[in-house]
Amino acid sequence: MRGTSFLSLLLILLPLGAQTEWKFAGLSNLPGFCGNYVNGKAAKAAFRMDPSVVTPAGKGALEIAILQSSATSNGSDIQIWLTQDKGLTPGKKYRLRLVMKASEAVQNALSLQFIKNGAPYSAASKPGGARISVGTDWKEQAFDLEALPAAEGVSLRFPDFFCGEIKAGTRLYLASASLVAAP
């Protein structure tokens, strides 16, 4: 199997004894494993697949365009998340890897949250989130996490990118993400 059908197969092989991967190369539309939210009263953003972006994995990346930063400096006013629908094993350690870049450097304004995909939006891991910087070159960033009991058997936002504090005009690009058992 190749392409999208192979990706779909990977997403079915959960809970994570195996690996979960989210890849964007070659996609022309936002995939079903991406969700997003914008508080239209306080911020503006656009989400799309940009097939022209050259990434370490080929051509195509998820583009997050910040059109208006949060008027209340609330990161959660602009969100995009990757879903992991089978949950995680409580107490097990995982490593999240992201391959990202930005149109201009983002210094600690991007917040990653690791939460349940539904009310109550509670933490699904220790730590429950991280603030990160993103440069203008492709870079892999890795985060080690431990699943909490709240992560068992439920859909998760792993991660949920809180982008509301990022400067207007900035574009973030995500080439791929993966969640694996930590070494």
> Which domains does the chain possess?
3-181 (2.60.120.260)
- pLDDT tens per residue across span 22-47: 999 989 999 999 999 999 999 999 99
Assigned token pair, 139: 């870079």
SS3 (DSSP) at 137: coil
- pLDDT tens per residue across span 83-121: 998 899 999 999 999 999 999 999 999 999 999 999 999
- What's the rounded Cα separation, in Å, for the pair 113 and 124? 9
Provide the pLDDT confidence category of residue 19 given band limits of 50, 70 and 90.
low
Across residues 123-149, what is the average pLDDT?
95
- What's the rounded Cα separation, in Å, for the pair 167 and 14? 36
Across residues 35-60, what is the average pLDDT?
95
Q: Using the structure block, give the residue that is written with the tokens 């991660």.
A: 159
Mean model confidence pLDDT for the chain: 89
